[in-house]
Amino acid sequence: MTLLDSSVGYLYGHHLFVDAGVPVYFVRANTTTASGASTTNSFTDLGDIYGQVRLSFPSPVLNFKTQFTGRAPTGSTSDGISTGHATYDWTNRIDRDFGDWTPFLEVGLANSIPDTFVYRRPFASYGELGHFQAGAAYHVVSWLSVAASAFDVAPWGSQTTDSRVLGNGSGASAGHGPPSLQGHQTTGGSSLAADNGFSAGLDLSPTKAIDFTVGYSRSTHYDLNTISFGIAVNMRAILRHPGL
């Protein structure tokens, strides 16, 4: 799965940042169900349009950030890109620098597992949940840092998942395995969207305009390993300093 995410934002002073964007998904998935049938699901779709408001309060004692994200159901439900519902996520983060080390803690409340939470899952979820992450980053040099963390997703109440692997009308795996292989749409209890595990990543910033990331995550709940690569381009930095 490849994601192209374009956004535009504005910084008000030193504390308030707002932005909005729309992701585009490029998916090609080959799966084998429990019965041995092989399926291929390939598509390109717009995702849910989103808006974010972030407040930051840096301090020598403790840095605090709080961010609220709202998403409109503009993505495809048949391809599992959207749940077909408006969703929200409210995430709070605290961290503190100890020399080159930065331990951090994140606590969030949402009605869908955020796509940006640790790794992008092969399904979209809908249902109330809390998500938690704790770890530390190490700044090797000014342009290179590494990080590791443990995470947990704790849902409650009814949960629904829409697979990005099995298209609408695809066969299911008779209720076995992760939600993405249980059928195109699955509804169940809180354990359906529960998740936990650990992750590690590397962030390389050769210039102010470009940022490269490499990540690995291990979901112990789904027995799923994910490797990701990312490139972020800051157009503001390029326009202000064309030589970057």
Nearest to 181 by CA among 160, 157, 162: 162
How many Cα atoms within 13 Å fall on the side-chain side of residue 199? Answer: 27
**Mean predicted confidence (pLDDT) in 226-240:** 84
Contacts of 217 (CB under 8 A, 6+ apart): 118, 119, 197, 198, 199, 200, 225, 226, 228
- pLDDT over threshold 50, residue 171: no
More confident site: 98 or 244: 98
Q: 66-71 long-range CB contacts below 8 Å, 24 or more apart?
A: 66/90, 66/91, 66/92, 66/93, 67/91, 67/92, 67/93, 69/114, 71/112
- pLDDT over threshold 70, residue 219: yes
Beta carbons of 54 and 70 less than 8 angstroms apart:
no
Return the C-alpha torsion angle 189, 192, 198, 199, nearest 10: -130
Q: pLDDT at position 63, please?
A: 97
Q: pLDDT at position 175, please?
A: 46
More confident site: 5 or 57: 57
Q: Report the share of the chain in percent with pLDDT over 70.
A: 86
Ranges 15-19, 20-24, 81-85: which has the least confidence = 81-85
- pLDDT over threshold 80, residue 64: yes
Q: pLDDT at position 177, please?
A: 56
**Mean predicted confidence (pLDDT) in 186-213:** 92
More confident site: 85 or 171: 85
- pLDDT over threshold 60, residue 172: no
Dist CA 213 CA 71 (whole Å): 25
* Two tokens, residue 140: 């090797």
> What is the model's pTM?
0.84
Q: pLDDT at position 174, please?
A: 40
Dihedral pair phi/psi, residue 239, rounded to 5°: -70, -35
Return the C-alpha torsion angle 107, 230, 41, 119, nearest 10: -20
- E strand residue ranges, the chain: 2-12, 16-32, 38-46, 50-57, 63-71, 87-95, 101-110, 123-126, 129-141, 144-155, 159-163, 185-188, 195-204, 210-219, 224-233
Q: How confident is the model at residue 154 (pLDDT cuts 50, 70, 90)?
A: very high
* Two tokens, residue 86: 């408006």
More confident site: 176 or 27: 27
**Mean predicted confidence (pLDDT) in 136-163:** 94
Maximum Cα–Cα distance for the chain, whole Å?
A: 58
